[in-house]
Structure 1
Amino acid sequence: MVRILRGLAHKYFSDEEAVILFLILVTGTVFVILFGAMLAPAIASVIIAFILQGLVTKLTRMGVPEIVSILGVFIIFLGILVGFIFGLLPLIWTQVTSLAGEAPRIIREMQSYLELLPQEYPTLISMEAVNTIYRQISTEAGHLTQWLVSFSLSSIPDLVALLIYMVLVPILVFFFLKDRNLLLTSISHLLPPQRPMMLRIWHEVNLQCANYVRGKAVEILIVGGVTYVAFKLLGMPYAALLALLVGLSVVIPYIGAAVVTIPVAMIALFAFGWGSHFIWVMVAYGIIQGLDGNVLVPVLFSEVNNLHPVAIIVAVLFFGGIWGLWGVFFAIPLATLLKAVFSAWPVKDSLPVEEVEES
């Protein structure tokens, strides 16, 4: 055992920079797991500033003074934030509560559809199975209604915390944008002066993650906005809520679109029934998904190295299980980070035979 551990240490940790990088990764992971909830506003501010920095850099390259670029981008960010808080968020909450109120009627209509299945497919579905499905749906709907009521009664402390975050996050975003170079220089002083491996990993991850995160933010806005306009024109109820779900579904490749299709189809079915209107809604939804996967994604992520679908699904499951929604959103950047680390990690030859025998 000692000989195996010694061989592994020589092969993967004989380089001083590799040891330091390993300690940084372990310490950072433990720190985020332990204190991530406490430092959520700061982490969110870093992510938002990272997304906005790309626009600041483009404006600076066009000849706009840096401070003017920062102020302009920051004002745009504040406008989007205010519009979301006072425009989109109340609309979505209204539609969520309205959908909860419509739940009993939807469940009754679903029961009528389910009761027809044993008559049409007696060999595949029994009435007992239909009753079991109906009881489960009724139970889940009751839990949802109960959660909405309890949330509305106990949300005052959360609203106070949310108001604090709404003040802290913009302030932190501004200073992260303004003092970006100063902060990066201060962090670099804590690292070894000679760090070619870290610089190589940083450049690759910075390029890949910047393209991915900014592209994903643009994709969410475009897909959600187009979906809202299409559903509104087709008279689809709960258009804002469904557009938000469809927009967020692009965060999880392969899985998100399949999962969100279910509520879209169910609400369209209960709103319009089986008919041409339902078909038009699903055709419009399918066209949006097709254009997103075949046109928008290749344009936005042309510079991002593609990961294998299995790697993406495993990363979503693993990081989502650790960090929840944030882990799901950053599963691909984190997987890209691991890929860059493994690619750049220095690997030495095995120990000489003489040293192995001595051990």
Structure 2
Amino acid sequence: MFRIFRSWIDRYFSDEEAVLLVVLIIASLAVLVTMGMVLAPMIASIIIAFLMQGVVVRLRTWGAPHWLAVSVAFVLLVAMLVSVLFILLPVIWQQSARFIAEMPRMIGEWQDVLLLLPENYPNLVSQAQVEELMAVTTAELGRIGQGIVSFSVSSLPMLMAVLVYFVLVPILVFFFLKDSALIVDWVASFLPRKRPVMSKIWHEMNQQIANYVRGKAIEILIVGAVTFISFALLGVNYAALLAIAVGLSVLIPYIGAAVVTLPVAMIGFFQWGWSSEFFYLLLVYGIIQGLDGNVLVPLLFSEAVNLHPVAIIMAVLVFGGLWGFWGVFFAIPLATLVKAILHAWPIGVNNAHTDSAQVTGEEP
């Protein structure tokens, strides 16, 4: 048993780079778990700078100097933040307040529909089952209402945190864009000069993660904007809230679209009932989802993420449970990173041993 364990250690951890990589992974996870909330502005700034780096690179390829490319990217970021703060947030606030005010009416209509089920389908649904479902739903809605009230009472500190984010994050993003090469060189100075495993993982992941993250951000914006325009033209209530939900649903493959279909259908049913407008809404929503999956995704993602659907769903559950929204957003890149590490680790170590043996003239 000891010989088997030692053989496994010699195979995967005999190289100093492998040990260093394990230490770096453990240290990074420890920092994220213990200091994730404290470092949240820094992490958010790195993520946004990574997204805006594409604009800087594109402008540099067009011949613009570095300072001009960084300035244009920063102005675009500030313009987007101002638009969110003064245009999008007021609309979301108004529609959210109206939605909460109309919830009692929607609940009453939903209960009336449920009470008709035992009369129309007595063999499938009983009166006791309907009453039990209504009691459970009422209790859950009451719990949600208490959560909203407690959130509104304690929202002042969160509001201050949001204001800090709006001031601090753009400043950090500017310096990350401006001095990205210096920061990368500074971090690389602490790593070994010869790092074949790290280099393999980095080259394998850099283009794929950049393509995925930027493509996913563009996909959210396009799907959300098209959904808002379509729902607004149809006259759907709470078009902005539904558009945000549909846009964010693309973060979770396979199940995001299915989950967000329920609120879209419920809002349409409460507004129009079983009418032609309701079916037009479902048709438009289906067309948006079809165009997203069959046209937009192939155009945005030049490099497909070769992961099994079970691995993707597991990554969403694990990383989403650890880091919430950002965990869900980066679930697929993180899963791809884990796959790249597992794929490159033994190959990189064995290649390193082979190269060393060739230099010394020994058998690998």
Query: Alpha-carbon deviations, 1:264-284, whole Å to 9, x = none?
Result: 100100001011000000000
2:207 matched residue in structure 1 = 207
Question: 4+ runs of 1 displaced by more than 3 Å?
Answer: none
- Superposition TM-score, scaled by structure 2 size: 0.93
| Aligned partners of 1:74 and 1:174 also within 8 Å | yes
Paired with 1:86 and 1:308, the residues of 2 have a C-alpha distance of 41
Paired with 1:27 and 1:148, the residues of 2 have a C-alpha distance of 37
Query: Alpha-carbon deviations, 1:244-300, whole Å to 9, x = none?
Result: 000000000011111100011001000010110000000000000010011111111
2:354 matched residue in structure 1 = none
The AA in structure 2 aligned to 1:84 is: V
| Aligned partners of 1:201 and 1:341 also within 8 Å | yes
2:152 matched residue in structure 1 = 152
- Superposition TM-score, scaled by structure 1 size: 0.95
The AA in structure 2 aligned to 1:293 is: G
Shift of residue 168, structure 1, vs aligned partner:
0.6
- 1:169 and 2:148 are equivalent in the alignment: no
Paired with 1:313 and 1:346, the residues of 2 have a C-alpha distance of 26
Shift of residue 110, structure 1, vs aligned partner:
0.2
| Aligned partners of 1:103 and 1:141 also within 8 Å | no
2:106 matched residue in structure 1 = 106
- Counterparts of 1:1-359 in structure 2, within 5 Å, are 1-346=1-346
Q: Secondary structure at the match of 1:56?
A: helix
Range 270-279 or range 135-144, more displaced: 135-144
Q: Secondary structure at the match of 1:304?
A: coil
Shift of residue 143, structure 1, vs aligned partner:
2.5
Paired with 1:118 and 1:204, the residues of 2 have a C-alpha distance of 58
Paired with 1:100 and 1:182, the residues of 2 have a C-alpha distance of 50
Shift of residue 160, structure 1, vs aligned partner:
1.1
Shift of residue 137, structure 1, vs aligned partner:
2.1
The AA in structure 2 aligned to 1:134 is: M
Paired with 1:297 and 1:21, the residues of 2 have a C-alpha distance of 33
Q: Secondary structure at the match of 1:345?
A: helix
| Aligned partners of 1:100 and 1:144 also within 8 Å | no
Paired with 1:36 and 1:4, the residues of 2 have a C-alpha distance of 38
The AA in structure 2 aligned to 1:222 is: I
The AA in structure 2 aligned to 1:24 is: L
Paired with 1:136 and 1:280, the residues of 2 have a C-alpha distance of 32
| Aligned partners of 1:100 and 1:145 also within 8 Å | no
Paired with 2:29 and 2:227, the residues of 1 have a C-alpha distance of 37
1:357 matched residue in structure 2 = none
Paired with 2:117 and 2:233, the residues of 1 have a C-alpha distance of 32
Q: Secondary structure at the match of 1:157?
A: helix
1:353 matched residue in structure 2 = none
RMSD: 1.2
Shift of residue 101, structure 1, vs aligned partner:
1.1
Query: Alpha-carbon deviations, 1:97-155, whole Å to 9, x = none?
Result: 21111111001100111111112211111111111121222222223333222222221
Range 44-53 or range 118-127, more displaced: 118-127
Query: Alpha-carbon deviations, 1:7-58, whole Å to 9, x = none?
Result: 1101111122111111111111111111111100000000000011011101
Question: Could you list the runs of 5+ residues in structure 1 that have no partner in the other structure?
Answer: 350-359
Range 230-239 or range 11-20, more displaced: 11-20
Paired with 1:128 and 1:287, the residues of 2 have a C-alpha distance of 39
Higher relative contact order (CA 8 A, sep 6+): 1
Paired with 2:275 and 2:95, the residues of 1 have a C-alpha distance of 24
Range 318-327 or range 245-254, more displaced: 318-327
Query: Alpha-carbon deviations, 1:49-84, whole Å to 9, x = none?
Result: 001101110110111111101100110111001111
Paired with 1:176 and 1:323, the residues of 2 have a C-alpha distance of 23
| Identical positions, percent | 56
Q: Secondary structure at the match of 2:144?
A: helix
Paired with 1:88 and 1:184, the residues of 2 have a C-alpha distance of 35
Q: Secondary structure at the match of 2:305?
A: coil
